[in-house]
Amino acid sequence: EAPRPLAGRHVLITAGPTHEPIDPVRYIANRSSGKQGFAIAAAAAKSGARVTLVSGPVNLPTPPGVTRVDVETARQMAAAVDAALPADIAIMVAAVADWRSAGEATQKIKKDGSGAPPPLQLVENPDILATLCKSDRRPPLVIGFAAETNDVIAHATAKLARKGADWIVANDVATHTMGGDINRLHIVSAAGVESLPELHKDAAAAALIEKVVDVLAR
Ligand code: C5P
């Protein structure tokens, strides 16, 4: 029988993008396939954890043994994360839109013929990871992700402090990560940086969960 080192633990994972409606047919979103987050959910479930996967709009099957909560917007994702607490481990992989439209039009915005585009006023979305880290129900291990195109480690290190997470897992999205199957993860924590080799997202997920298991066993 396969070892189940995360048996009895609740792992909360966010994945995918969020969609922030502008009107009934248009939205603002980040580019995210959800593949890495879903792979991490699958790996956590395989390790015996109870897994709650809060997912934005993606085109992926639910991994076996995972409880999935589908959301569309950042505010819905924040509420779903809150509703899923308490958790032992939180892994926030979602590419949450930083801004949403200040006012959502109830009807499709039409070109008015003047050639002038409609004004688009943005407001900031809640930071789900930072909010969770400050919460009195903060999981003992909180892991954030950072998709960066440059100075990957430096940005992740800054993010660690700013968000209040235990680890920031940085990935370089300048190359081939987005929507692809290969990822290179750098795990940044107070202990330093551990860079994994280029791996299939499933193998990268397994390596990350293995590190979680190691740390919990200490
Ligand atoms: O600084 P940045 O927003 O890129 O940090 C990314 C990390 O923060 C990811 O773990 C992401 O899931 C999380 N995040 C969040 N809520 C936001 C923005 C980012 O949870 N509104």
For residue 142, which of 3, 35, 14 has the smallest C-alpha distance?
A: 14
Q: What is the pLDDT of residue 179?
A: 67
Please determine, for residue 176, whether its predicted confidence score (pLDDT) is greater than 70: no
Ligand 1 center–CA 140 separation, angstroms = 18
In the predicted structure, residue 38 carries a pLDDT above the cut 70? yes
- Give the residue, out of 30, 40, 96, 185, with the most ligand 1 atoms within 8 A of its beta carbon, to mutate for a pocket test: 96
Q: What angle do CA 205, 6, 157 make, to 5 degrees?
A: 50
3-state DSSP assignment of residue 161: helix
Angle between helical axes of 35-46 and 201-217 (0-180°, round to 10): 50
Work out the mean pLDDT of the chain and round it to a whole number: 94
74 lines ligand 1 (CB under 6 A): yes
Q: Which residues does the annotation place in the binding site?
A: 98, 108, 126-129, 145, 159, 163
Whether 144 is in the pocket of ligand 1, judged by its Cβ within 6 Å, is yes
Confidence of residue 177 (pLDDT cuts 50, 70, 90): low
Ligand 1, pocket-test mutation among 76, 89, 98, 129, most atoms within 8 A of CB: 129
| Residues belonging to the active site | 30
pLDDT at position 52 over 80: yes
Q: Please work out whether the CB of residue 63 comes within 6 Å of at least one atom of ligand 1.
A: no
Write out the two tokens for 197.
């080799």
* 167 Cβ inside 6 Å of ligand 1: no
pLDDT digits (tens, 9 = 90+) for 141-173: 999 999 888 898 999 999 999 999 999 999 887
CA distance 138 to 131: 9
Ligand 1 geometric centre to CA of 129 (Å): 6
Q: Which of 13-17, 100-104, 125-129 has the lowest mean pLDDT?
A: 100-104
**Residues annotated as binding site for CTP?**
98, 108, 126-129, 145, 159, 163
Per-residue pLDDT of 64-106, as tens digits, reads: 999 999 999 999 999 999 999 999 999 999 999 999 999 878 9
Q: Which among 215, 217, 210, 163 has a CA at the least distance from the CA of 185?
A: 210
